[in-house]
Amino acid sequence: MLDADAPILFERRGAVALLTLNRPATRNALDGEPMYAAFESLFEQLNADLSLGAAVLTGSGSAFCSGGDVAQMRERAGMFAGSPQEIAGNYRQGIQRIPRAFQRLHLPIIAAVNGPAIGAGNDLACLCDIRIAATTARFAESFVKVGIVPGDGGCWLLPRVVGASRAAELAFTGEAIDAQEALRIGLVSRVVAPEALLDEALALAGRIAANPPQALRWTKQLLLQARTGSLDEALDAAARFQGLAHHTADHAEAVAAFFDKRPPRFGQGEGT
């Protein structure tokens, strides 16, 4: 049953999980223990459910995610309270749990960016595997505009999405870009009308989820490993996963369907 008060709403759409940031009053700011814990617990749930093949993350209200709560910054409250050492600890024990949770997520995830994705909200979109934007979306790596740095890993994430030079321009200026500029620089893969955003994201997630769930999870692990590992490490991991994949029922079904010239039916036996 849907918990309307949860910081992140979870719905099943067939083999797709729809996750909606549910703090419209703060424009879905990433603050507070309930939000951090929600990412961790939901992602553990998604990892454990092999009937799911993909996820979509979007925001409620007019924003995707406004990042940190600037009102709390002004008041030196919440994660912004205390000495420099205490604030560093607050980051490690708080918002940095979100990128670590994404790093442990096995399921492919699409960001459906419905509105502004600012500061940590921009980084949240970058944590997803694929980004689709509504024409109403805006993006900003805006930390310097409030005199701070990307404390959630943005300087690691953004160059891997748009390249070093464009990431530096976004981070050093803190300026916002619109959805069409985000498309031009590769921050998003497509831009659609606001009313079509969720349908477009769910349709793409559905096409992903039509593939064998375990093969999707192994492929995602290889893509994550490629961010930091060497070619030798990538080849070793690929060989290990490939050995396992060749012994799954889904692989046998896919090969049989290829020769029978019919759509495969995945998830029909053990070892899928």
pLDDT per residue over 73-106, tens digit each? 889 988 899 999 999 999 999 999 999 999 999 9
Confidence check: pLDDT of 196 > 50: yes
Confidence check: pLDDT of 270 > 60: no
DSSP symbols for the chain: ---TTSSEEEEEETTEEEEEE--GGGTS---SHHHHHHHHHHHHHHHH-TT--EEEEEESTT-SB--S-HHHHHHT-GGG-S-HHHHHHHHHHTTTHHHHHHHH--S-EEEEE-SEEETHHHHHHHHSSEEEEETT-EEE--GGGGT---TTSHHHHHHHHH-HHHHHHHHHH---EEHHHHHHTTSSSEEE-GGGHHHHHHHHHHHHHTS-HHHHHHHHHHHHHHTTS-HHHHHHHHHHHHHHHTTSHHHHHHHHHHHHTS----S-STT-
Write down the pLDDT at residue 268: 63
| Percent of residues, the chain, with pLDDT higher than 90 | 90
State pLDDT tens for residues 10-41. 999 999 999 999 999 999 999 899 999 999 99
pLDDT band for position 271 (cuts 50, 70, 90):
very low
State pLDDT tens for residues 138-184. 999 999 999 999 999 999 999 999 999 999 999 999 999 999 999 99
pTM: 0.93
Write down the pLDDT at residue 78: 87
